[in-house]
Chains A and B, each alone.
Chain A
Amino acid sequence: MDWTALRLSLQLGSFTVLLLLPVGIWAGRRLAYRDFRGKGVVEALVALPLVLPPTVFGYYLLVGFGAASPIGQVWHSLFGRPLVFTFEGLLVASVIFNLPFAIQPMQRGFEAIPREVREAAACCGMSPWQALRRIELPLAWPGILTAMVLGFAHTLGEFGIVLMVGGSIPGETRTIAIAIYDRVQAFDDLAAAQMSALLLAISLVTIALTYGLSRRVGRRLG
């Protein structure tokens, strides 16, 4: 068992979820409550990572964030470290690739709040923040939690992008999914088996949680 890789994956998953939480709440609410020109396009773009091959995404990140790219150079001048082949690069990749997993369940969660409830909150004189905190978030929490669970589990399992923009640097970009691949090449079948079993267990828990939570959202809608 590669504990460094496990810790790194857990770190990456936590940071990804933390970053996606505000983004998902904002985008989920906006998509749930408002109709605007190009909404369909936005929704399609959000869903794109679901079908985009990870290596394609990885390739563009490598080109877009690489040491020769403008973004890569700005980042390097700010932090003195490159963006690709580092933890931060993985984090950026992971946030973008998890957008559909975060936004879609949150959007469903906010959509499930009846419009008149929100209007009542506004009529009662609640400030936007009060309404968000006391009305909307308590009602939408199954969707939000589903998003976080899915995002976290998906980050743990992501392989293609991590391999392309991360390399396999111990303690930096060697996540647990990469470590399994690495251990197989090192003829260390025991470690590979242990880590695979762990990821299998995490995936099962994720599925159980997601299904349980989505049933809650469904009940409220009905």
Chain B
Amino acid sequence: MARAPLLHDRLVGAISDETEPDRTAASFRSSEENCSIPTDQSGFTRSEPLAGRFRHIGIRTSASLALVAGIALLTIAGLARSAFADEPPTVAAAADLQFALTEVAAAFAAETGLEVKLAFGSSGNFARQIRQGAPFEMYLSADESYVLELSRDGFTRDDGVLYAIGRIVVIVPDGSPLEPDGTLRDLRAALADGRVQKFAIANPEHAPYGRRAEEALRHAGLWEAIEDRLVLGENVAQAAQFATSGSTAGGIIAYSLALSPKVSARGRFEPIPEAWHAPLRQRMVLLENAGATAGRFFAFVQAPRARAVMRRYGFVLPGEGS
């Protein structure tokens, strides 16, 4: 096909030079002169679109179509998902409950036939997400202050209930140069003689177990020495993963995690004295939008069957001594 390099420029020129009403006529004329393709047999009428108009209209229509299609799809996606109103409720739980609450939820499902979806993370992150509108129906914090603050600001049904008191342990992986010693004597010696390069705790900024680990290290007078060697987990479960991966000398994690076979298979641990840190008063609460299933799960966690599981994972339960 012969190339017509001028055609395009001329069309563009015609369009931009003419005022609105003349645009059609101008582009029509110039195309008419240049177009060398016979059209009578093609079956298409010639009177309609021409290159200049063609691009213009084409782009504008496809733009609005794209927009309409986009909005339609987004609406469909939104409606389709909000239609599942009777989906199992999502429960936000502190990471120290990773294994214990999974067992409790399984027992709940076995007893009632109802399901809950569990999301584990740091209590501080969840509190922030709840404030930003995350669709959780129940929140089990490792630190009651988050629950009480949410309650004060109207995000929850009430003040919730205390469901457990947590403990922290020092854990060292198999093959670590460190001894698992709850009073941190060996950690002190190891810091002095350089046996400890990396030591894992949860991030004290937003993970309650990290905060208690920091308090214990400060109580032992080791914080300044160890601060530069800390590896911070986003939550205490990640800290446990770091502490037992073999890439660190060990770490301070939740007793409830250390008692899980998955973790205890990887190392040895010893509890840190409770007096060395503020108590880990763990409080749970139903959030404003909680449905019936969430309500039943909330009650189930306080029932004997769930308490037995929690006790097995080393939690001290409200109303019981240690």
Contact = CB atoms under 8 A, between A and B. Distances in A.
A and B form one complex: yes
B135 A22 contact: no
Interface residues of A, number: 59
Interface of A: 15, 18-19, 22-23, 25-26, 29-30, 33-34, 62, 66-68, 72, 76, 78-88, 91-92, 95, 115-116, 118-120, 122-129, 131-132, 167-172, 174, 182, 184-188
Nearest to A117: B1
B78 A81 contact: yes
A17 to B, nearest CB: 11
Contacts of B77: 15, 87-88, 91
Size category, B interface: 35 or more
Contacts of A84: 132-134
B62 A25 contact: yes
B119 A116 contact: no
B118 interface: yes
B282 interface: no
Q: Which 4 A-B residue pairs are closest in the complex by CB-CB distance? A: A125-B44, A67-B133, A82-B133, A128-B58
A167 B129 contact: yes
Nearest to B54: A122
Interface string B42-72: 1011111111001101110111011001100
A20 to B, nearest CB: 9
Nearest to A79: B78
A174 B132 contact: no
Interface of B: 1, 3-4, 7-8, 31, 35-37, 39, 42, 44-51, 54-55, 57-59, 61-63, 65-66, 69-70, 73-74, 77-79, 81-82, 87, 90, 95, 98, 117-121, 125, 129, 131-136, 235, 237-238, 240-241, 260, 262-263
28 contacts: A19-B69, A25-B66, A30-B63, A67-B131, A72-B133, A79-B82, A82-B133, A82-B134, A85-B132, A85-B134, A91-B77, A116-B1, A122-B31, A124-B39, A125-B42, A125-B45, A125-B49, A128-B54, A128-B61, A167-B125, A167-B129, A168-B120, A169-B90, A170-B118, A170-B119, A172-B90, A185-B238, A187-B262
Contacts of A62: 132
A65 to B, nearest CB: 9
Contacts of A83: 133
A19 B117 contact: no
Nearest to A68: B132
From DSSP, what is the main secondary structure of chain A's interface residues? Answer: helix
B49 A126 contact: yes
B181 to A, nearest CB: 24
A210 B113 CA distance: 47
Contacts, number: 172
B235 A185 contact: yes
Given A95-B70, A128-B58, 12 more contacts: A26-B59, A29-B58, A30-B59, A30-B63, A33-B59, A81-B78, A84-B133, A86-B81, A87-B81, A126-B49, A170-B119, A185-B120
A123 B119 contact: no
B74 A82 contact: no
A123 B50 CA distance: 6
Contact of A19 (B73, B87, B237): B73
Nearest to A15: B77
B132 A67 contact: yes
Nearest to B84: A171
Given A15-B77, A185-B235, A81 B98 contact: no
A76 B240 CA distance: 38
Contact of A123 (B3, B39, B66, B263): B39
